[in-house]
């Protein structure tokens, strides 16, 4: 992706997105037109350990099965299914991740892949936003 004529990797683009999202983050709510929204983030290790949560929004660790990470969300975090983004977070661009299916108010599933498209374990960063 090019920004201001410079080619940027997806990790840099996601990093910029995270910075903008966190600058807009107000604990528990952003209000627009009377509707309250949340923006939450976390890091998920290749073993399912959840860290760097913006608040306590993921219940415990992720359930892991060969590059598939299932996160159970704490009750009441989102009132409708959030929009989520994920990115492989292994210190360099080596693979990709994708949200599997449609997140719900209680579950988000992420799958990680190597550059050949083979599902594999990898650290990943997760951002979800939606109505509170």
Distance CA 11, CA 87 (A): 7
Q: What is the pLDDT of residue 35?
A: 82
d(CA 91, CA 12): 11
Tell me the percentage of the chain whose pLDDT exceeds 90.
56
User: Model-level pTM?
Assistant: 0.74
pLDDT tens figures, 20-55: 444 444 455 566 677 888 999 999 999 999 999 999
Q: In this model, does residue 81 exceed pLDDT 60?
A: yes
Distance of alpha carbon 75 from its chain centroid, rounded? 18
């Amino acid at each position: 992706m090019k920004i201001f004529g410079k080619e940027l990797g997806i990790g840099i683009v996601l990093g910029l997105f995270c910075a903008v999202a966190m600058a807009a983050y107000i604990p528990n709510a952003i209000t627009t037109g009377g509707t309250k929204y949340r923006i939450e983030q976390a890091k998920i290790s290749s073993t399912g350990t959840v860290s760097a949560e913006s608040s306590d929004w993921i219940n415990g660790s992720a359930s892991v099965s060969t590059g598939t990470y299932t996160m159970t969300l704490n009750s009441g975090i989102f009132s409708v299914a959030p929009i989520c983004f994920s990115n492989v977070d292994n210190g360099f661009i080596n693979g990709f991740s994708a949200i599997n299916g449609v997140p719900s108010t209680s579950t988000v599933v992420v799958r990680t892949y190597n550059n050949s498209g083979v599902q594999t374990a990898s650290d990943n960063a997760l951002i979800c936003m939606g109505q509170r």
